[in-house]
Chains A and B, each alone.
Chain A
């Protein structure tokens, strides 16, 4: 394996691990052939070590709250995007025109998403600006780079979607919700194999983008001293985020219930689900991720409440 590649792979491990094994591991890799299975094995092991390091890392309550909020919000974004694209441009969207309860559930999700965005921006904007300026002033370029990871990830997805759309004559956008289904694909669209491949790339970019954004956000928070901010900021915004995500979760669950009552046929067909799955399966996936996001956001609130409770402070 080339020296540069060996060093690059060793750099995927957490700093504490690299301090002990970094040099000998890189030297060991240089004598090892760079096969795809070896590289995948190293990436997988590095991820496990990162998880272990994150678990062992001590964070104060403010840092823990922010990290949990970041994970909860990004999970809610993933679930919300999947829900929106499952419903968008399908007969279920038309059913919502005539069914008030179905439309109300959908609006609850939309309202919850706006409130969640507002809660996240309220805390993220001042905190990120301050961390960014401090990092820039003290020349911590790694931290500055991590702050831009979510924007970079979003930019890559957008560029990929625009490039894909232009490559297919602007007739089709490579989203995993528009591959195939119980509908005839327009003749202008690219062949099915191309649609599967391109939408799979989009899916991988979305998942990697969300994961790398969550990891980068948690790394930035862990490296920062947040004691200059008052606890009320974290309590109020984590509470607002948790309520917003709970509203979204209830809205999505209710929407599925009403869809089953009013449009069971369309709900069970394949015309909007992720990767040609049925709409109900795609909806269930969103419900599951929303449930995880709700739990995580409640843990963020609990993390603040535990710190502020009188018995804890007295202890």
Chain B
């Protein structure tokens, strides 16, 4: 998971920060644990999490598009 985040964002999270985020997201009902795979504990988005993520990404997309438009003007 840490490597995925590093690949996507270019930032390597510390283990404490990662589990802080996981516990917060699970508490808010945005992710849920799947059956443990040996020593790995996978998580997946809940329906609510998918909805929230879609809204966030749409906002980011609009923000990036408006910014790029301003830069090119």
Using CB atoms and an 8 Å cutoff, list the residues of chain A in contact with chain B: 17, 20-21, 24-25, 27-32, 37-38, 40-46, 48-49
Contacts and interface: CB of A to CB of B under 8 A. Distances in A.
B19 interface: yes
Q: From DSSP, what is the main secondary structure of chain B's interface residues? A: helix
Q: From DSSP, what is the main secondary structure of chain A's interface residues? A: helix
Interface residues of B, number: 11
B61 to A, nearest CB: 31
Contact of A28 (B17, B20, B23, B41): B41
Given A30-B39, A41-B14, A41-B17, 19 more contacts: A17-B23, A20-B23, A21-B23, A24-B36, A24-B41, A25-B15, A25-B19, A27-B41, A28-B41, A29-B15, A38-B14, A38-B16, A42-B14, A42-B15, A42-B16, A43-B16, A44-B16, A48-B20, A49-B20
A21 B22 CA distance: 10
Contacts of A37: 14
Given A17-B23, A21-B23, A28-B41, A45 B17 contact: yes
A28 B19 contact: yes
Contacts of B17: 41, 45
A31 B14 contact: no
B39 A27 contact: yes
A26 B38 CA distance: 14
Given A37-B14, A38-B14, A45 B39 contact: no
B19 to A, nearest CB: 5
A5 to B, nearest CB: 12
19 contacts: A21-B19, A24-B36, A28-B15, A28-B19, A28-B41, A29-B15, A30-B39, A31-B39, A32-B15, A41-B15, A41-B16, A42-B14, A42-B16, A44-B16, A45-B14, A45-B19, A45-B20, A48-B20, A49-B23
